[in-house]
Structure 1
């Protein structure tokens, strides 16, 4: 069960409670489901009871208890626990993670991308400043992943090396959707909405007494490290250049993401040498990783909608950190024979690596199979 399907299931439970007369509320259009926070448990959590409590004129925990019974009627949900002020924490059957892994393996790096054109047309404008140009390039990639057609226009003349070194597409005003030039394609009847967006990351001002480092040229970092250095900080934060973006150690978030991906690819090679393939199935104690992989489509949509590639970058770091504990248990040890559990762990590791590679590609960063 994906987060989108789970959101629909929660709304269905609300609708049933309304139909049975236990709740007198307007059924919302959307129920937010996220990985559990501190004090939570299970695979996902939702605050729908807190959202409805005032309109229902009942305490949030009472609303949560009403919904709990209806959610347990769904065979795909194995447990529902009410915590805190009224959060619903949901545990899914193990087959749900297998279905998610199977979906990721089937869709590959396009997992989380829109299945069809959205009909939206977006024009991004940005000044000819290196951080703004790289950010606009990443935002354009994200928007295209969600089916939008995108034009990027520059106020000024970008430096040619921003294309040759940083991989930015400097074709001013070319209409693209997911990398396809639409300027000569008959798109009559496809674009139903249009928007103009200005991309210009501006760090918040610092107090006058605090020394501000002079801007540093990111080009010596090379394409991948430079793009990460410019995209990982939020728009209101100041990039750290040169920083530690080229250092291969755990203090470097980019290294953690690429290393986690490279390890998943190494495990696939090693498993092939041992004569077994990945096969989706239940994997114990991986709830956090499964929840993060399931949340990937929502992250892509949010990053595209709010023009925040940093949101995707941070998500990739979290996925990488949640993947690392799984990897040592993927291959059999010593004389141990490959089992269904090993195949399921390998499939989950492969799915995590696919999400990491797909996310990096949307940031314009390479995901090498070897580090």
Structure 2
């Protein structure tokens, strides 16, 4: 069971509880599952019971117990434990490795991983002023909406419903990719910085880190090929990598960026993915006389999954994902 599948299972439990009259709430569009926090247990946890408690007019732990009863019998779920104020901690069947399952899902879907149907059949009408940042943001929103099954139209004039803080100057001298990033990475209410900082190749530049991480993943894949081994999703040994959560969160981030017309959410998320994958890369290739093992193949598959997410996210932002940097 992948995180997306588990999220759907939790959502199904909520819907069934509502249909049977145990909960009187509006069923949310989606449920977030993540790694258990301090005091938690199992493979995943969700705060959905705490979120539904107030509208349901019931204590969070009571809501959690209602949902627990429906989740325990779900396919692929071994146990569900309620902790704290009402956190649902979910353990999957022993033979299911969540990291390997997630990597397989990303490999199967490729650049379309995270695309969904949150806006299926909807037409999002964007009205923007004649200003470069508004144009660039609208262009990115069009792609994000399409990735969620909808269609966005763009018109100019007033009253505008997409009006980020304008760029203080022409970003064109930065070049296409850096200009896109300079206008999309800040939140809409923040003033973008049109400076040469976006061009420097060092860790302090978020765009450099994202593009460098993708290029490093591609380099590691090429070197693995020269050593005669390829990526193969495998057991994580029960240890959750820091990369797991941002990769599992990618579908939720994409949906939120589309629904709220906020490509900055995706840009910041890509920085998180890059910062999580870079520490993994030194352990992907064998060292010295070491022979490639199942662990090396599994780490390579995980790194390549991150590279897929980085490339797909950059493409939605209209930015090139380099093979070399």
Is TM (by shorter chain) over 0.5? yes
Note the 1:224-263 alignment, pairs <5 A: 224-242=177-195, 244-263=197-216
SS at match of 1:244: helix
2: distance between equivalents of 1:247 and 1:267? Answer: 23
Task: Decide whether aligned partners of structure 1 residues 141 and 58 sit closer, same or farther in structure 2, where only a CA change above 3 A counts.
Answer: closer
Q: Residue in 2 aligned with 1:296?
A: 250
- Cα displacement (A) at 1:80: 4.4
> Which blocks of at least 5 consecutive residues in structure 2 are unaligned?
none
Note the 1:110-189 alignment, pairs <5 A: 110-114=112-116, 118-155=120-157
2: distance between equivalents of 1:260 and 1:224? Answer: 16
| 1:278 lines up with 2:242 in the alignment | no
Task: Decide whether aligned partners of structure 1 residues 331 and 8 sit closer, same or farther in structure 2, where only a CA change above 3 A counts.
Answer: same
- Cα displacement (A) at 1:51: 3.4
| 1:220 lines up with 2:173 in the alignment | yes
Note the 1:100-115 alignment, pairs <5 A: 100-114=102-116
Question: Which residue of 274, 286, 306 maps to 1:352?
Answer: 306
| 1:329 lines up with 2:283 in the alignment | yes
2: distance between equivalents of 1:105 and 1:8? Answer: 20
Task: Decide whether aligned partners of structure 1 residues 267 and 18 sit closer, same or farther in structure 2, where only a CA change above 3 A counts.
Answer: same
TM-score by length of 2: 0.85
- Cα displacement (A) at 1:346: 0.8
Would you say the 8 A contact 2:25–2:56 is kept in 1?
no
Task: Decide whether aligned partners of structure 1 residues 257 and 99 sit closer, same or farther in structure 2, where only a CA change above 3 A counts.
Answer: same
Would you say the 8 A contact 1:36–1:89 is kept in 2?
no
TM-score by length of 1: 0.76
> Which blocks of at least 5 consecutive residues in structure 1 are unaligned?
157-195, 204-213
Would you say the 8 A contact 2:215–2:323 is kept in 1?
yes
Would you say the 8 A contact 1:6–1:33 is kept in 2?
no
Larger Rg: 1
Would you say the 8 A contact 2:118–2:255 is kept in 1?
no
- Cα displacement (A) at 1:242: 0.3
Q: Residue in 2 aligned with 1:39?
A: 38
Two-structure CA RMSD over aligned residues (Å):
3.1
Q: Residue in 2 aligned with 1:183?
A: none
Task: Decide whether aligned partners of structure 1 residues 52 and 151 sit closer, same or farther in structure 2, where only a CA change above 3 A counts.
Answer: closer
Would you say the 8 A contact 1:122–1:151 is kept in 2?
yes
Question: Which residue of 315, 320, 323 maps to 1:366?
Answer: 320
- Cα displacement (A) at 1:81: 4.9
2: distance between equivalents of 1:69 and 1:340? Answer: 38
